[in-house]
Every structure is written in structure tokens, then in C-alpha cells.
Chains A and B, each alone.
Chain A
Amino acid sequence: AQRVTQPEKLLSVFKGAPVELKCNYSYSGSPELFWYVQYSRQRLQLLLRHISRESIKGFTADLNKGETSFHLKKPFAQEEDSAMYYCALEGITDSWGKLQFGAGTQVVVTP
């Protein structure tokens, strides 16, 4: 069974400090992994996906197949990074439109 675990419900960091959101998954195969973000009063939106290997808003995420992890990192947090972050997994087969979401991590960046 596929499962996504985000162990931290809340992450509070100071502006300018590094931030790392943990995501571990369980899936028998090679899934596609995403980070979605929901800013206050905005809709859920894609932040980044592992196959694009991009850095978005200073965030990066590396897929570690050995540790089955997809942690999200940013070296210097900004106040505008305060949001709810969800790690999500899409299986390779029979998974159209179906994302398995983690429980989410609320990030609060304080000045």
C-alpha cells in the first residue's frame, strides 16, 4: 500500500534560518513525488515535482530512493514561506488523478 508520512505537524523557524520539511513514502515501485503548498486564503497549488529538478522560490527537494524520502529544503526562510505544505505521491500505474497526500506540515516563519 502506498503511504506518505510527514512527521512534523508544525515547524516554526526564524526568518533567515534554514528550513527542512521531512517526507517519507512507501510505495512498491518508482512513484512521482510532489510538494504542494497552500498559503493563507489561497488554493492548494503545486510547489515542485521531483522529475523537474527545479528550484522554486528557493526550495529544492531531492528524491532519495534508498531512504524513500523526498525532503523539502530552503536555506534561508522568508516570512512569505509561512504556509501549509503537503508532500504527495502519484503511482506509476492506475493512478490517474490520484495523489496520496501526507498529513501536511504547517510552517511558521517568524521575523
Chain B
Amino acid sequence: KAGVTQTPRYLIKTRGQQVTLSCSPISGHRSVSWYQQTPGQGLQFLFEYFSETQRNKGNFPGRFSGRQFSNSRSEMNVSTLELGDSALYLCASSPGAGGELFFGEGSRLTVL
């Protein structure tokens, strides 16, 4: 089985712009979670989607949003980028009943 695929792998944006990151889960997995990883804050949960519904959300401002499509692929969007949004954004998938998460390689966002 192909693993979790995230695109793009690297991107550079400037403050005020917006960005969309994409995640394709492992085939058959219906749950997709997103995490932000920074040196200062570590791994922090953003949100989780299952069958196109957001089931869980972390403590991030409304500038961070996401969605899931009927094929389980997911996107996350960050609007009005700030310097502090520079991070590695990780997507993880699972069958949906909790337990093991399968992570992608991440999308590294740099905000200038």
C-alpha cells in the first residue's frame, strides 16, 4: 500500500498570503488528522476529519481550516499567514477507530 502522501513538500510564502496543503491518506483510511510541528511547541494537533466531517479540533485560530473530500483526501488552509506559522505540517491517516496513526513526510512551510 502506498503511504500517506503530502504535497507540496516545501513552500515559501510571505506574510499575509494564504496557503493550501494537500494530503492523500492510505487507501481505505477514512480518518485524516493534521499536526503542526515547530521546534518551540513540538507536535500540536490541528484537526481531524472522518467521512468529510470534522470530528475534533485543536487550539488554533480560525485562520487554520481544513476539509475532507469524499475520497478521503484532505486539505488544510492557512489564511493571512504570520511568521509564526512557519512549521512542518504533518498529515496522518488511520482507519478511523483510534489507535495507530500513519504519518506523511510533511509539508514544510516557510513564511517570510
Contacts and interface: CB of A to CB of B under 8 A. Distances in A.
A94 B43 contact: no
Nearest to A34: B100
A69 interface: no
Given A46-B101, A49-B99, A96-B31, A101 B56 contact: no
B56 A94 contact: yes
A98 B48 contact: yes
Given A43-B104, A46-B100, A98 B42 contact: no
A49 B100 contact: yes
Nearest to B49: A97
Nearest to B50: A96
Interface stretch (B12-20, B75-83, B90-98): B90-98
Given A43-B105, A98-B33, A100-B45, A90 B98 contact: yes
Nearest to B43: A101
Contact of B56 (A34, A49, A98): A98
Interface string B1-27: 001100000000000000000000000
Interface string A85-100: 0100010001111111
A104 B44 CA distance: 12
A97 B92 CA distance: 8
Contact of B42 (A45, A95, A104): A104
**Chain A: interface secondary structure?**
loop
B58 interface: yes
13 contacts: A45-B102, A46-B100, A49-B99, A49-B100, A86-B43, A96-B56, A97-B49, A97-B50, A97-B56, A97-B101, A98-B33, A101-B43, A101-B44
Given A32-B98, A43-B105, A44-B103, 20 more contacts: A43-B3, A45-B103, A49-B100, A86-B43, A96-B31, A96-B48, A96-B98, A97-B33, A97-B45, A97-B49, A97-B50, A97-B55, A97-B92, A97-B98, A97-B101, A98-B33, A98-B45, A98-B56, A99-B43, A99-B101
Interface of A: 32, 34, 43-46, 49, 86, 90, 94-104
